[in-house]
Structure 1
Amino acid sequence: MNINTQPTLGNDDLQLIPLQESDFEALYETASDEKIWEQHPNKDRWKRDVFQLFFEGAIKSGGAFKIIDKKTGAIAGSTRFYDYNPSDNTILIGYTFYATCYWGKGLNPVVKHLMLDYIFQYVDSVYFHVGASNVRSQIAITRLGARKVREEDVAYYGEATRHNFVYQITKEEYTGKQATDKA
């Protein structure tokens, strides 16, 4: 099955648009806030050279998005689909970050539901890598119904390997939620 891992997704408030190489400067402007990366596995991603590697990995993944606030036109963050495995019909969602002005506003569940509503048309299970020290993201992912299934070291593109928790949600477990909910 051929899955489009970079569709345009959205609702009244936000849009997930396939990330392009020309988006680097605008996305880096959002990502250059040191606070965003405090709990992420690589705390230096706010630095231009480190973010450049992150961005290159995003482009090469073939599943990365910029998240646009439709009311302001601002880039709210980024996320991606990656590592589709046709043999067990799974995919990963991750590498997500948001500008701090969107924290606590309900953006993450809306983004994840847009992605899950779409991808569960094609796969049976979705995994999420979450940094072992990223408590904020661990809480957020369990609120979506994902459960921790293991721990593993993840080799990040151009970065050091980091310890992650792996969460999973299956198509059967996913209760869904209208992605039209307000962000």
Structure 2
Amino acid sequence: MFKNSFDPQPEMMDDTLSIRPLMREDIEELFSAASNPEIWAGHPAEDRYKREKFEPYFVSLLESRAALAVIDRRLSQIIGCSRYYVSPDQHDSVSIGFTFLNHAYWGGETNFHLKRLMLEHAFKSFPEVWFHIAPTNIRSQKATAKLGAEHAYNATLDLSGSPAVWMCFRLSKDAWNRVLTSKNA
């Protein structure tokens, strides 16, 4: 699994979000956050907004023992999830993915807040973080580039049960620190 005794399910928070391990009893709230078809447009699992498609995905998140519930602190409501995982072709690294946010949280700073928390935790143990994005998922490609990640290569990887082509983005700790410095300037 993870090297360095990395904790893939930390509890973290900032002024707007809290993140904690995903639990079985979160299914209704997380499904509510995931039930808009726009969330999954451009995603390989474009029908995941349907209950019968979402439930197996939810079970896989729980079984990963690395999934995190993302909570709007103001509303005390689950608004999405994300997880850490080890890439099949980068065994000594950490990846962040399987992320979605309720459509109402698009276009603002929520994804940046989420990734900032997760990246700060990951960079305590790893010098770089990987992101794997479907070639059709332009929205996620743009969001990942805003974090300072660069497209390194494409690869056929089995990330969720069947091999597929993924765009592999790498974010170094130095590149992330430059993004943070420019945001704080």
Q: What's the TM-score, normalizing by structure 1?
A: 0.88
Equivalent residue in structure 2 for 1:64, among 40, 64, 67: 67
Following superposition, the deviation at residue 89 of structure 1 comes to: 3.3
In the TM superposition, what is the alpha-carbon distance from 1:88 to its structure 2 partner?
Answer: 5.6
Mark the CA change 1:48 to 1:155 in structure 2 (over 3 Å): closer, same or farther: farther
For residue 171 of structure 2, what is the aligned residue in structure 1? 169
Once the two structures are TM-superposed, the CA of residue 168 in structure 1 deviates from its matched residue by 0.5
Whole-Å separation in 2 of the counterparts to 1:102 and 1:132:
23
Deviations 1:13-45 (A, max 9, x none): 110111011111211111111111001111011
Equivalent pair of 1:90/1:126 in contact (CA under 8 Å): yes
Distance 1:80 1:46 in 2: 19
The alpha-carbon distance between structure 1 residues 90 and 47, as it changes in their structure 2 partners (threshold 3 A), is same
- Note if contact 1:89-1:125 (Cα within 8 Å) is conserved in structure 2: no
Higher mean alpha-carbon deviation, 99-108 vs 88-97, is at 88-97
- Structure 2 residue aligned with 1:48: 51
Instruction: Give the counterpart letter for 1:113 in structure 2.
Output: R
Contact 2:87 2:159 in 1 (8 A): no
Alignment of 1:6-21 (within 5 A): 6-21=9-24
Shift of 1:163: 2.5
Write out the 4+ residue segments of structure 1 that deviate beyond 4 Å after TM superposition: none
Q: CA deviation at 1:174?
A: 2.3
Unaligned runs of 5+ in 2: none
User: Of Structure 1 and Structure 2, which has the larger fraction of its residues in helix?
Assistant: 2
Matched residues, number = 177
Instruction: State the distance in 1 between where 2:41 and 2:87 align.
Output: 28
CA distance in 2, matches of 1:42, 1:5: 24
Task: Quote the offset at 1:156 in angstroms.
Answer: 4.4
Which residue in 2 is equivalent to 1:152?
155
State the TM-score, normalized to the length of structure 2.
0.88
Question: What is the percent sequence identity of the aligned residues?
Answer: 31
Q: CA deviation at 1:154?
A: 3.5
Measure the CA separation in 1 of the matches of 2:25 and 2:164: 29
1:26 paired residue number = 29
State whether structure 2 residue 128 is matched by structure 1 residue 125.
Answer: yes
Which position in structure 2 is the counterpart of 1:73?
Answer: 76
Residue-by-residue CA offset, 1:113-142 (whole Å, 9 max, x unaligned): 111111100112210011110101101101
